Amino acid sequence: MARIASTFTALLRTQDSELIQGLAESIPRGLRLVPRKLLYPDRWLLASALQKCIRRGLHAEVTDVAIALHAVDAEYAWRRLRVIALEDVGMGDVEAVATVMAVAGKRKVRESLGDLRLYVANVQMLAVGLKDRTACDLISWIGCAPEAIDFRAKLLEQPARWESLALDNDVPIWQRVVALELLAGVTLRTGGGYRTLTRADPEAVLRVVEALKPHPLVAFAVLRGKGTESLNVALLFAHLVRQAADRCPVIAHEEEVQGSPCIGGLIAPSFCMYTRAGLRALRLFLHRDVEFRGVLSRAGATDAFKALGLLLFQVESGLLDRIEDYAPKVRIDAERAELAQFGMTDDAACAALRMMLKNRLPMLNKARRAAWKTYLVETKLSGESA
């Protein structure tokens, strides 16, 4: 084990240096660091906008958002970028993902190269890269599907099996993800904060990565990607899924991602259920649209609001500009499992709701504009500083 650990430490250090050096040499000289427009300094809204713009490949828009978010909270901006890289780019551009992992946590290196300059360059690199959400889909599925939840509960009582299971080619890939996730350490969000389910076993994770022999950049991103809600673990198995795919990766282009209106200077999908104004807008939309609410109810939705949030992601917020598609079943299974949490198990009904919602996006954006105006008034009256 000492030999493996020392070998990997040396390789990681070498990869670190090479990625940072390559990034430093590739930053354009005329990189724009002054925003074209001022954006309201709401950290959560800017973070949402950053992710949506990266997904959609909106190069100019994402630069303005990156500058604004960095000004609000630079350390948070870098932490969020690590998650976005693994969640939305993944195997689509694993070198870009590894580069973000290499530089994000190194404050002194960032400062020496110009922190804002480096941040904008990384954001733009992710925006122009191919996108792949397979790692995120794997994590979503094991977090939602009843069989995965039951499996993890049973596996918690058998820690001796985790390592061998992560390496077992004869079991479903999702079981291997669960096993390595437990080895890498699991912390769950709770109503009162966070709860540690398992503590990390770095040596066991090293052994698994060593045995599976992934591409060096994948191994680097897995080992440097701790603290990303297990997305780094899932990236390793997304790599295996890609290798075993019975079809060459297909690059799909989504033309509609370019056509979103702006609200408060940000593209409309930025106003999602994880922002205050977006949350208010969704509630307002549901309150106004009795027909849509009724169709949700007849489709079996046990929580209309959360079901709407998931459907909206599938219709609008999760759109990617150029997708490397090699695991469509993983994506479809993840979407089904997420909706099934809230009683929606009929594929035809879910498809009909997605079409209804797509046609109602102008109505939703009207609710978003109203919610945004109210939000600005409230924050001004309360004297809040973002």
Residue 329's Cβ-count burial label (10 Å; 0-12, 13-18, 19+) is exposed
Instruction: Name the amino acid, one letter, at 221.
Output: A
Is the pLDDT at 204 greater than 50? The verdict is yes
Cα–Cα distance for residue pair 89/129, rounded to 1 Å:
7
Q: Whole-angstrom Cα distance, residue 217 to residue 238?
A: 13
DSSP H helices in 73-172: 74-84, 94-103, 107-113, 115-128, 134-144, 146-155, 162-166
Sign of the torsion angle spanned by Cα atoms 118, 124, 125, 127 = positive
- Gap between the Cα atoms of 208 and 227, Å rounded: 18
Amino acid at 254: E
The mean of the pLDDT values for the chain is: 93
Mean pLDDT of 64-78: 98
Report pLDDT for 4: 52
Per-residue pLDDT, 191: 72
Reading the block at residue 40, the tokens are 């309201």
For residue 161, give the DSSP letter.
G
Which pLDDT does position 5 carry in this prediction?
57
pLDDT at position 386 is: 46
The answer, yes or no, to whether residue 380 has pLDDT greater than 90, is: no
For the cut 70, the answer to whether the pLDDT of residue 1 exceeds it is no
Query: pLDDT band at 188, cuts 50/70/90?
Result: confident
- 219: pLDDT strictly greater than 90: yes
Give pLDDT tens digits for 131-145: 999 999 999 999 999
Question: pTM for this one?
Answer: 0.95
- pLDDT number for residue 22: 95
Note the pLDDT tens digit of each residue in 113-130: 999 999 999 999 999 999
Return the pLDDT at 12: 82
Q: What is the pLDDT of residues 4-23, one digit of tens each?
A: 556 667 778 899 999 999 99
Report the C-alpha gap between 319 and 270 in whole angstroms: 12
pLDDT at 274: 94
Amino acid 9: pLDDT: 73
Q: Range with the lowest mean pLDDT among 238-252, 280-294, 343-357? A: 238-252
Contact 40, 66 (CB under 8 A): no
Strands (E) in the chain, as ranges, are 186-190, 193-198, 250-253, 262-263, 266-267, 322-325
